[in-house]
Structure 1
Amino acid sequence: MVKRAHGADEDHETAKVLPSDILDWLLPGHALKADIFETKGWQGYKQSARIFAPGLADPVGIMARDGNADTICVSITGSGMFAVDLRRARLALEHYGARITRIDAAFDDLDGEFVALDLLRYDAVCGMFDGGNRPSSRSFVDDLGTGAGSALYVGRKGDKQLNAYEKGKQQGDRFSPWVRVEVRLWSKNRLLPLEMLDSPLGAILGAYPHLRQYLPEASPTRARTMRRQVEARAEDMTDWLRSAAGKSLGALRAAAKQAGATDSEVLDLLTRDGMPSRFVGIPEEVAIYRTAEFLQGAIQ
Structure 2
Amino acid sequence: MLDHDNGFFDNSNQRPKSETIGTAWRNEDGSGKTFYVGRKKNSRFVRVYEKGRQLGDKESKWVRFEIQFNYGDIEIPLDILINQGSYFCGAFPICRKFKNMPVPERFDQRKKKLNLTFEHKLHYAKNAVGKLVNFMIEMGFDNSEIVESLKADSGFPKGLEPEKYALEMLRDGLKHGFIHEQPDIDLEIELDELGVIAFKNSDKFDREKRLFSPDYDVEKERKYQEYLSKVYHQNVDYDYF
Superposed pair shares fold, TM > 0.5: no
Higher strand share: 1
TM-score by length of 2: 0.38
Higher helix share: 1
